Chain A
Amino acid sequence: MKKKAKNIGVRADVNNRNKWCAVPYYVWMIIFIVVPLVMVVFFSFTDSDYHFTTANYEKFLTRGANGELIYVTTLLRSLGLALIATLICLIVGYPVALILSSKRIKRSDLLITAIMLPTWMNFLLRTYAWMTIIGRNGLLDTLLALIGLGPVEMIGTNGAIILGMVYNFLPFMILPIYSVMAKMDHSLVEAATDLGANPLQVFLRVKLPLSMSGIATGITMVFMPAASSFVIPNLLGGNKVSMIGNTIEDQFKSAGNYNFGSTIAMILMVCILLSMLIFNGKGDKEEMIM
């Protein structure tokens, strides 16, 4: 009895100490996450003289000359393109993560490094490189011309933007899935095989459900930056296909309208949050079923 009480005391002590260790992180989070968020909310509900207004949200519903909701259309276009890019990343990235995590691959750490390698280079630089590759009279056109194939028109299309997104964000899909799969208890796979499951069943009933959390993280990490990107549509989209990130950039950088810029950022944030809830909710449910 006495011993137990002492133990609890020690634990409380450790907890206390841990609490103090966390203080810097709380301070950090307040300064760099909470305060900016509060500022964005504040800006979105005020005009340039700091008076309360909902005009910014009403402005978001502006209709253009042709009757279309210009900002809403841009937002939907961004979410759509980001969704396509995320799906492609998943379809391409999942098998890669699966193969890398399998025991048969030697030096998978080296291969993972190779996948990470491009991200060590500046994001802008990599996107500029694609501009010279798929641009008019660029590398791709020159190579295709050598084998007698016509020039491809990529710059300024949705395809170019999706390509840029997939290239830039693919590692963020592969890594979380890989890290979940690499940690997976291999005896579960062996048990399934022993109990007569064929490879497909092993994958569908064991590996896939266990990797769901990695998939959810991967989707989040690709979808979020993709939906709000503006450099890729700038350079590869030739500024022709405008995404919501461009509109936000315009409001902050050139128009100097922080209020409307914050409003769009808020709306984008809510949209991403909602889509994340949908994605993750699905992931959890499937995990529960298993």
Chain B
Amino acid sequence: MKKVLSVLLLAALVCGTVLCTVGCGSGKQQLIFYNWEDYIDPEVLRMFEREYDCQVVEKLFTLCEDAYTKIKNGSRYDVVTPSDYMIERMIAEGMLAEIDVSAMPNYKYIGDDFKGLDYDKDNKYSVPFMWGTVGILYNTEKVTEPVTSWNILWDEKYAGQIIMQNSIRDCIAVATCKNGFDINTRVESELQKAKQDLIDQKPLVFAYYVDETKDQMANNAAALSVVWSGDAAYAIAKNDKLAYSLPEEGTNYWFDAMVVPKNAPNYALAVKFIDFMCRPEIAKMNLEYIYYSTPNVGAIELLDEEYTSDETIFPDMEYIRTKCAVFRDLGEYRGLYQDIWDEIRATN
């Protein structure tokens, strides 16, 4: 009996290996998509696979600094979705291939507000994917006062109830905004003040998370947290006691765009993929899945009012224009920011 069983197992193993080799070697094209964690409707990828008879391999990053380091050190991806300031840096360092938008019939759906932005003035290297804000997600049962200022994150009442963003730029920006400094400040004294504020705040902080925050908030684990707007909308959809607020001092608003690195293995398919993502119905599916705002005008027309009237996803544009700023690449000041971040992280 045992012998029969082991023979059967062996046969299964051999068949499996052979089938896999045959399956993998069937000459299907591959698209390597390097994306933020929790940042796309997986069904969209399956649809692209069916339509273009290819295989999409999704690789994930938590912060676009991580993505930069990987690409800089030779990892090859076809399409990447970094943020504005990182795209600016990648263009400056000659890491990105130009994207021929004339070959993309769906590019016309991208709103004019999202073209010619500072990080890519001539729209040569990037196609906008998502955009959003950084704000305070809070639990209305634990925070009964109105949340209007970043200062609430330094209120000792909420000791042990605050989750900060474990990301160098986002975390430091909270302190610079609170003090009314530019979020891209290069003034040493302003940065030192921001650093001291964040060190002073540390005893009040429950944890520094990135992707874990939304589930922790949905699970009522903390009262206040600094999150990206889509994560806020996602958590609110899961737990209706949560609310999102954009502080009166202003905040960071950001764009994530699709880019093709120069060493992309499959440029042609990458362009097709980006065009596919610009289709209004596909952009709509993504928005409904990850809750970030879309730069796709065609998609907005298709959306239910439930989404378009949601201020977490579509904030007041007057506020964005007057109070918010986009991250810029820091150039030679990157090292100083990193040292400040190291110190904040190391201080107990």
Which residues 211-228 of B have a CB within 8 angstroms of A? Answer: 212, 216, 219-222
For residue B63, which residues in chain A have a CB less than 8 angstroms away from its CB?
A: 254
Which of B16-24, B194-202, B276-284, B325-333 touches A?
B194-202
Stretch at the interface among A21-29, A71-79, A162-170: A71-79
B102 within 8 A of A: no
Query: Per-residue 0/1 for B218-245: is the Cβ within 8 Å of any A Cβ (1 yes, 0 no)?
Result: 0111100000000000000000000000
Smallest CB gap from A70: residue in B: B346
Contact at B207–A257, with CB atoms within 8 Å?
no
Contact A64 B343 (CB under 8 A): yes
A62 within 8 A of B: yes
Q: A70: which B residues are within 8 A, CB to CB? A: 342-343, 346-347
Q: A70-B343, A240-B202, A241-B348 are in contact. Are A255 and B209 (CB under 8 A)?
A: no
- A235 CA to B346 CA, complexed, in Å: 16
Q: Mark B69-90, 1 if CB is under 8 A from A, else 0.
A: 1001000000000000000000
Residue contact A240 to B342, C-beta cutoff 8 Å: no
B342, A254: Cβ atoms closer than 8 Å = no
Q: Find chain A residues with CB under 8 A from B342 CB.
A: 70-71, 247, 250
CB of B206 within 8 A of CB of A155, answer yes
Is A65's CB within 8 Å of the partner chain B? yes
Residues in A neighbouring B168, C-beta threshold 8 A = 254
* Partner among B66, B195, B341 whose Cβ is within 8 Å of the Cβ of A65: B195
B69 touches A256 (CB 8 A): yes
A70 to chain B, nearest CB (A): 4
A246 within 8 A of B: yes
CA A131 – CA B212 in complex, angstroms? 10
**Who on chain A is nearest to B341 by CB?**
A250
| CB 8 Å contact bits of A117-161 with B (1 = contact, 0 = none) | 000000000000001000111000000000000000101100000
A256 near B65: Cβ-Cβ < 8 Å: yes
Min distance, Cβ B37 to any Cβ of chain A, angstroms? 13
Asked if A239 and B346 make an inter-chain contact with CB atoms under 8 angstroms apart, the answer reads no
B164-207 interface code vs A (CB 8 A; 1 in, 0 out): 00101000000000000000000000001001100100100111
On chain B, the number of residues with a Cβ less than 8 Å from chain A's Cβ atoms is 34
Q: Is the CB of B209 within 8 A of A238?
A: yes
Q: Does B339 contact A (CB under 8 A)?
A: yes
What is the bound-complex CA distance between A65 and B62, given in angstroms?
A: 29
Contacting pair A247 B72 (CB below 8 A): no
- Closest B residue to A135 by beta carbon equals B221
**Is A242 an interface position by the 8 A CB rule?**
yes
Alpha-carbon separation in the docked complex, A79 to B290 (Å): 41
- In the bound complex, residues from chain B placing their C-beta under 8 Å from that of A253 are 65-66, 69
Q: Is the CB of B206 within 8 A of A156?
A: yes
Any B CB within 8 A of the CB of A252: yes
Shortest Cβ distance from residue B330 to the other chain A in the assembled complex, whole angstroms:
12
> A65-B343, A156-B207 in contact; A135/B160 too (CB < 8 A)?
no
- B208 to A239, Cβ gap below 8 A? yes
- Write the A48-76 contact mask toward B (1 if CB under 8 angstroms, else 0): 00000000000000101110101101100
**Inside 8 A of B148's CB, which chain A residues have their CB?**
none
A253 and chain B: residue at smallest CB distance: B66
Query: Nearest Cβ in chain B — how far from A164, in angstroms?
Result: 14
Measured CA separation A38–B123 after assembly (Å): 44
Known interface pairs A135-B221, A136-B219; A240-B208 also in contact (CB < 8 Å): yes
For residue B254, CB closer than 8 A to chain A, the reply is no
What residues of chain B lie closer than 8 Å to A135, measured between beta carbons?
216, 219, 221
A65 & B208 in contact (Cβ 8 Å cutoff):
no
Q: Which residues of B contact A64 (CB under 8 A)?
A: 343, 346-347
Residue among B192, B207, B220 making CB contact with A155, cutoff 8 Å: B207
Which residues 124-158 in B have Cβ within 8 Å of A in the complex? none
Residues of A within 8 A of B121 (CB): none
Q: How far does the alpha carbon of A242 sit from the alpha carbon of B341 in the complex, in Å?
A: 12
Q: Could you tell me if A246 and B345 are in contact, using CB atoms closer than 8 angstroms?
A: yes
- Residue from B206, B207, B222, B342 with most neighbouring chain A CB atoms (10 Å): B342
When the two chains form their complex, are residues A65 and B219 in contact, meaning their CB atoms are under 8 A apart?
no
B68 at the interface (CB under 8 A from A): yes
Residue of B nearest to A69 (CB): B346
Which residues 195-240 of A sit at the B interface, judged by CB distance below 8 A?
235, 238-240
Contacts of B65 in A (CB 8 A): 253-256
CB distance A247 to B345 under 8 Å?
yes
Q: Which residues from B are CB-within-8-Å of A153?
A: 160
- Shortest CB–CB separation between residue B173 and chain A, in angstroms? 16
Q: How far is the CB of B75 from chain A (nearest CB, A)?
A: 13
Specify which of B69, B192, B346 is in contact with A242 (CB 8 Å cutoff): B346
In the complex, are the beta carbons of A242 and B345 less than 8 A apart? yes
Q: Which of B294-348 contact A (CB under 8 A)?
A: 338-339, 341-343, 345-348
Separation of A79 and B68 alpha carbons in the complex (Å): 31
A85 to B160, CA, bound (A): 25
In contact, A257 and B338 (Cβ under 8 angstroms): yes
**B207–A238 CB distance below 8 A:** yes
A72: nearest residue on chain B (CB-CB)? B346
The residues of B with any CB-CB pair to A shorter than 8 Å are 63, 65-66, 68-69, 72, 160, 166, 168, 192, 195-196, 199, 202, 205-209, 212, 216, 219-222, 338-339, 341-343, 345-348
Query: 27 pairs across A/B with beta carbons < 8 Å?
Result: A64-B346, A65-B195, A65-B196, A66-B347, A135-B216, A135-B221, A136-B206, A136-B219, A137-B220, A153-B160, A238-B206, A238-B208, A239-B208, A239-B209, A239-B345, A240-B208, A247-B342, A247-B345, A250-B341, A250-B345, A253-B65, A253-B69, A254-B69, A254-B168, A255-B338, A256-B69, A257-B338
Please give 6 more A-B residue pairs, beta carbons under 8 A apart, in addition to A64-B347, A238-B209, A240-B206. A136-B222, A137-B221, A155-B206, A238-B206, A238-B207, A254-B65
Chain A residues within 8 Å of B, Cβ to Cβ = 62, 64-66, 68, 70-71, 73-74, 77, 131, 135-137, 153, 155-156, 235, 238-242, 246-247, 250, 252-257
